[in-house]
């Protein structure tokens, strides 16, 4: 299927590794040029090299997305060097510290929500003028089953992920008439570096996660990326305000 992304400019937040990197490559494979944003310069450079190997332009920008000035400078650089981005993928790894809410200081609350939600809102705000000018835009946020089911010790994490769903619904109501769609891809666990760190190489821990899925397998970053690329395409123009589960059926069970 031709996703008709030739000539499109994408900005992928969290593109250094894992699912975000897979998304950047999937978009490049379909013809988009990609601005890759994340914290770690070395990972970004490697991901950008892979994008260029696919014949597309890549702009790696190491940035703390919670830093307003740095984030705004990164967006301005992407616009200047690649062109106005009209595809925005919010794939930055969320900050998750398993802690019950009464043990958190308000400074901790501000930090987590700044990284997990405020930066996503700010990126949408920054790119919407480009999308409006083009009468075309796609916002895809990587969410979590935690938005609906919660997660022990993660009330703020669940709040942030639910906020992404609300953000995409609100954007849909305000901007769909201008050719701009916004959707959330809800994830359980993905077979990435973060999962390896979580299970710490323990086969039994991994098997427990596998058995929480209906398909008895964990989705790969590439599988998530294919769904994101489709939602960024012209083929998905009628899909907006949706939450699409890419969990191998974990959303049918009590994942946590």
Task: Point out the residues that are catalytic.
Answer: 157
In angstroms, the Cα distances linking 14 to 23, 91, 110, 142, 210 are 10, 5, 20, 10, 25
Q: Are 141 and 185 in contact (CB under 8 A)?
A: yes
Question: Helix, strand, coil % (nearest 5) of the chain?
Answer: 50, 15, 35
In sequence order, the β-bridge partners of residue 182 are 139
Report how far apart the first and last C-alpha atoms of the chain are (Å, whole number): 36
Structure tokens at 234: 């012209």
Dist CA 22 CA 190 (whole Å): 12
Dist CA 82 CA 220 (whole Å): 29
């Amino acid at each position: 299927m031709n996703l008709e992304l030739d000539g499109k400019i994408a900005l992928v937040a969290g593109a250094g590794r894992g699912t975000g990197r897979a998304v950047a490559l999937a978009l490049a494979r379909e013809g988009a040029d990609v601005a890759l944003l994340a914290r770690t310069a070395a990972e970004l450079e490697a991901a950008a090299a892979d994008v260029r190997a696919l014949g597309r332009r890549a702009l790696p920008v190491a940035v703390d997305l919670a830093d307003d000035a740095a984030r705004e400078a990164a967006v301005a650089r992407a616009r200047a060097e690649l062109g106005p981005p009209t595809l925005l993928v919010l794939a930055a790894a969320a900050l998750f510290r398993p802690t019950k809410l009464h043990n958190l200081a308000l400074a901790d609350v501000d930090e987590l929500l700044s990284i997990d939600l405020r930066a996503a809102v700010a990126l949408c705000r920054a790119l919407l003028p480009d999308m409006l000018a083009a009468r075309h835009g796609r916002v895809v946020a990587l969410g979590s089953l935690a938005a609906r089911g919660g997660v022990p010790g993660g009330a703020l994490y669940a709040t942030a992920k639910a906020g992404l769903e609300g953000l995409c619904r609100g954007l849909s109501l305000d901007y769909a008439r201008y050719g701009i769609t916004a959707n959330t891809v809800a994830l359980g666990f993905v077979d990435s570096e973060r999962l390896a760190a979580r299970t710490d190489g323990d086969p039994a821990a991994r098997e427990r996660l596998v058995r929480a899925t209906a398909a008895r397998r964990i989705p790969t970053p590439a599988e998530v990326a294919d769904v994101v690329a489709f939602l960024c395409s012209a083929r998905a123009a009628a899909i907006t305000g949706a939450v699409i589960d890419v969990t191998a059926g974990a959303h049918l069970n009590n994942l946590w």
